[in-house]
Amino acid sequence: MSRRKITKKRIITQDSIYNSILVTMLINRILLKGKKSLAQHIFYEAMKNIKESSQQDPLEVLKKAVLNVTPVVEVKSRRVGGATYQVPVEVKPDRGNSLALRFIIKSARNRPGKNMIIKLGNEILDAYNNVGNSVKRKEEIHKQADSNKAFASLRF
């Protein structure tokens, strides 16, 4: 645990093709065992597939998909006395983007099939259309927060 009061945010550079920080964040989430060039290849090929199948700007599709998957509230554990309560808390924009990207990548990896390029492209399109496992995950988090809204007064 750091003794500093405020943690320093690392500056994320934009990617060279789409000039977007969101794209860099997604590539870094795809990354396994330090193979960044492979992660970039997977992402860019998935974006080409999205462009061919939807006839739309793939960056706009990605932004809308992330927006559809971003949760508004989540639950955090709060210990009061001897009991642990699940307290609903609003999600900050940076954490919301991070959670959305994590949900999309995890859902893509869990899809059937063996080609990550196709799985990632399909998951982004599904999130864009408000269907798919990543959107279900967001709805589950919202249901959990809604069922625990009685403990909202215990916010910290």
User: pLDDT digit string (tens) for 52-92?
Assistant: 998 999 999 999 999 999 999 999 988 888 888 889 999 99
Q: Delineate the domains of the chain, giving CATH numbers in brackets.
A: 21-154 (1.10.455.10)
In angstroms, rounded to a whole number, what is the distance separating the alpha carbons of residues 58 and 48?
8
What is the overall mean pLDDT for the chain?
91
What pTM does this model have? 0.89
Instruction: In whole angstroms, give the CA distance from residue 75 to residue 34.
Output: 32
> Which of helix, strand or coil describes residue 84?
strand
| Mean pLDDT lowest among 5-9, 11-15, 128-132 | 5-9
Measured N-to-C along each axis, helices 36-54 and 21-30 cross at an angle, to the nearest 10 degrees, of 120
Is the pLDDT score of 2 beyond 80? no
- Identify which of 9, 17, 18 has the alpha carbon closest to the alpha carbon of residue 63: 18
The mean pLDDT value for 133-151 works out to 91
pLDDT of 3 over the 90 cut:
no
Q: Which tokens sit at 146? A: 């809604």
pLDDT per residue as tens digits for the range 32-54: 999 999 999 999 999 999 999 98
% of the chain surpassing 70 pLDDT: 98
